Amino acid sequence: MTAATILETPPDEPRITAYDLAHKILYLRLLDAAAEGADWREVARIVLGLDPDGDPGLARRIHDSHLARARWMTEAGYRDLLRQGSTN
């Protein structure tokens, strides 16, 4: 499990949230795994600390929603960081 608590779905805000900042390393790991073509179940287990065999639907939703937020960060969210001058 990661140090920060993982919600079923990350916030769907049009700006970077405290949750995003707390999970930025997780987002990077998800993006790396996706780029490498890793199986979502393996990523859910290793990166998210979930048991995809116990509740595959929930694990998939958590994986997919966080991967989507990670992609949003690379497409739009990073602008908030640039405006704030944040390196957090």
User: In 1-88, where does DSSP find H-type helix?
Assistant: 18-22, 24-35, 40-46, 56-72, 78-84
Per domain, the residue ranges of the chain are: 18-77
- Structure confidence by residue, pLDDT tens digits, 29-87: 999 999 999 999 999 999 999 999 999 999 999 999 999 999 999 988 777 776 776 55
What pTM does this model have? 0.85
Average pLDDT over residues 13-35: 94
